[in-house]
Amino acid sequence: MAQISNKIESAERAVNSEEAYPPLLDRRRGRQHPLLGGSRATDPPLTTRACADWMGVSTQSVRDWIHHGYFTGTETVKLQAEMLTVNGRRMHRIYLDSFITFLTAIGWQRVPKHPRAA
């Protein structure tokens, strides 16, 4: 009987301890960070997820801006992107220069930094 109560007590201590639950990682990033991509031909294009995370919107909003545009009050501005179909899946390639042009056209105050050339 004493062995069972000792096992129960040790199990309760393990559950209540800090080691039982590792800390959750914070997925939020700093507000100013360079996006992967750039003006060189060898730089990788951005994804809709990277653009959405950087702006703090959903990927559906970014896709809507590619297909339908963003109405600024006087004009509709579209986000320029290449549309590819790979294995039946539609993908969008957004280049950093096009993304910066789109952000300035809609009046966005904060624009991503260009990565430094090596």
Over residues 71-100, the pLDDT tens digits come to 988 999 999 999 988 898 888 999 888 998
- Residue 76 sits at φ, ψ, to 5 deg, of -105, 125
Q: Taking 90 as the threshold, does the pLDDT of residue 62 lie above it?
A: yes
Tell me: domain 35-118, CATH 1.10.1660, correct?
A: yes
Q: Where are the domains of the chain?
A: 35-118
Residue 34: name the closest of 93, 114, 117, 118 by CA: 114
Greatest Cα-to-Cα distance within the chain, rounded to the nearest angstrom: 80
* pTM for the structure as a whole: 0.62
Taking only the tens place, the pLDDT of each residue in 15-49 is: 555 554 455 444 555 555 555 555 555 567 888 99
Both structure tokens of 105: 């056209």
Mean pLDDT to the nearest integer, 47-58: 90
Which H helix or E strand runs over 86? Answer: strand 82-86
Residue with the two structure tokens 């950093």 = 96
CB half-sphere exposure, 24, CA atoms < 13 A: 3
Distance (Å, rounded) from C-alpha 21 to C-alpha 13?
A: 12
- Per DSSP, the three-state class of 35 is coil
